[in-house]
Amino acid sequence: MIRLFERWALDPALVVAVLLLTVFGIAMIYSAGVVEVPNPVTQYAWVRQSAWLIIALMAFSVAARVPLRWIEWVAVPAYVVSLVLLAATLVIGSGAGTASGVESWINLGPLHFQPSEVAKIATILTLARLLGQRDRPLSSLRDIVAPASIVGAPLVLIMLQPDLGTALAFIGILFAVLYWAGTPVALLALLASPGLGLILSFDTLIWSGYILCVVVFLYAYRYRLFFFESVAVLLANFAAGTIARPLWSSLASYQQNRILVYLDPGVDPRGAGYQIIQSMVAIGSGGLRGKGFTAGTQKRLDFLPEQHTDFIFSVVGEELGFLGTVLAILAFAYVLARLVVMAQRAEDPFAGLVLLGIFGAWLVHIFVNVGMTVGLVPITGIPLPFVSYGGTFLLMSWVAVALAVRVAHEGVQ
């Protein structure tokens, strides 16, 4: 029996952990539906999520049987198709459910799905395919142009939707895969520097100090970089500082609000700050032990926003307390650590890169989603893998699990 399960799961440790998280998620979705003024949609969300779990498990069974080489082969076509779909969403896309402001969904009869979920996996595979063929580490910015472009294409399309949360996941993928491909950390830091410069440019003095630091860093690192690369990094930083303000004004007002509220939730307690304040009230009032499963008052009385999707972790915090949140975070940590361990064991570069790509995507999802419920990061509409309600997201997460266990299984041999 255990043998049978092992043969089915390929990596029982990861699959059991993920399965437990999914079941835990269904329980929390059930609890999120237990409110004073029941809503038929959220009340039975857990039933639909359970049905999706069954579909996801079937998809897992199939996907986990696909040979690694086939996966490698399908990467590029899948990437191209997903880019087409992403472009299509900009024309025919629609908002759905709580994310109604973001046109990231495509409707196919009764099914609607987010091409960005497919794109995420396709991008990981394509990146892994590209970098897996290299036998030298990426050592210069020029080496990074190709992988960055592969991520950049879907990233731009997703930013146009605009879906900041998913875009962040792509950045997570890029950095994780580059890291596994042997890119020096210093180079990654240089790559990230324009992003940091963008954020810091809001205060001229801080930004000037930051630019100084970059210059010093480039000087210290001069023997490992081409001169034009140093200039490019510096220029990128200057550019980021310059476009910061126009970029800020080009953001939708709800996006601006989210950032302002992140800095100070009290700015707009009835509007944008409402979600974060209510979420923190729920989690904080949960205390050490929580208010008990289904007994969260903030949740029950509908104070929590989007409590069965993006803010499901607020329900965890309120009802299960600090003990529950730490256990859940550790479960996620275990899943992520398991991916790293599997990558370490994989001889095949493609396998390791796929595993780290999934690691990068999930790390962003988990950190941003959980972090926003306590005000650690700004609110972005990004779901929590396996726990948040959402059928296609669950399905694609399980497909990712299937790919992970498959490539790890074959990559070791």
Give the C-alpha separation, 337 to 192, whole Å.
24
- Closest distance between other proteins and the C-beta of residue 118, in Å? 25
- Beta carbon of residue 331, minimum distance to other proteins (angstroms, whole number): 11
Instruction: Tell me how far apart the alpha carbons of residues 361 and 176 are, in angstroms, rounded to a whole number.
Output: 8
Residue placing its CB nearer to other proteins in the complex, 238 or 274: 274
How many secondary structure helices (H) and strands (E) does the chain include? 17, 2
Q: Which residues pair with 112 in a beta bridge?
A: 107
DSSP 376: S
User: By C-beta, is 59 or 342 nearer to other proteins?
Assistant: 342
Single residue of 19, 141, 363, 401 touching other proteins by CB under 8 A? 363
Q: Which helix (H) or strand (E) holds 113?
A: strand 111-113
- Kindly report whether the peptide bond that precedes residue 77 is cis, defined as omega within 30 degrees of 0: no
Residue 50 · residue 333 · CB < 8 Å: no
Structure tokens at 186: 């210093």
Chain positions 18 to 47 lying near other proteins, rule: CB under 8 A, are: 35-37
SS3 at position 106: strand
Give the gyration radius of the chain's Cα atoms.
22
Q: CB neighbours (10 Å) of residue 386?
A: 28
- The reply to whether 343 sits near other proteins by the rule CB under 8 A is yes
- Residue from 352, 381, 383, 391 touching other proteins (CB under 8 A): that is 352
Cβ closest to other proteins, residue 236 vs residue 346 = 346
Residue 292 CA to residue 316 CA, distance in Å, equals 10
Selected range binding other proteins among 7-15, 59-67, 320-328, 396-404, rule: CB under 8 A: 320-328
Minimum CB distance to other proteins smaller for 105 or for 311: 311
| Candidate list 113, 207, 210, 359; residue touching other proteins; CB under 8 A | 359
In the window 367-406, what residues touch other proteins (CB under 8 A)? 367, 370-371, 374-376
The 181-200 contact track toward other proteins, x by CB under 8 A, reads xx--x---------------
Give, as ranges, the residues between 151 and 180 that touch other proteins (CB under 8 A): 176, 179-180
Binder among 4, 54, 108, 135 for other proteins (CB under 8 A)? 135
The stretch among 68-76, 148-156, 218-226, 340-348 that binds other proteins (CB under 8 A) is: 340-348
| Overall size of the chain counted in residues | 413
Q: Residue 173: name the closest of 140, 148, 198, 142 by CA.
A: 148
Beta carbon nearer to other proteins, 209 or 287: 287
C-alpha neighbours within 13 Å on the C-beta side of residue 235: 6
Find the shortest distance in angstroms from Cβ 325 to other proteins: 5
Q: What is 140-200 written as a DSSP string?
A: SHHHHHHHHHHHHHHHHHHHTTT-HHHHHHHHHHHHHHHHHTT--HHHHHHHHHHHHHHHH
Give the residue with the Cβ less far from other proteins, 123 or 373: 373
What's the first-to-final CA gap in the chain, in angstroms?
24
The CB-of-86 to other proteins minimum distance in angstroms stands at 28
Applying CB under 8 A, which part among 19-27, 189-197, 248-256, 318-326 lies near other proteins? Answer: 318-326
Binding mask 271-310 for other proteins (x = CB under 8 A): -------x-xxxxxxxxx--------xx-xxxxx------
Within 13 Å of residue 227, how many CA atoms lie on the same side as its CB?
A: 0
- Say how far apart CA 215 and CA 51 lie, in whole Å: 55
**Least distance to other proteins from the beta carbon of 85, Å?**
31
Q: Which of 159, 213, 247, 330 binds other proteins (CB under 8 A)?
A: 330
Nearer CB in complex with other proteins: 209/284: 284
Binding-site ranges for other proteins (CB under 8 A): 35-37, 134-137, 176, 179-182, 185, 270, 278, 280-288, 297-298, 300-304, 317, 321-322, 325-326, 329-330, 332-333, 336-337, 340-341, 343-344, 346-347, 349, 352, 356, 359, 363, 367, 370-371, 374-376
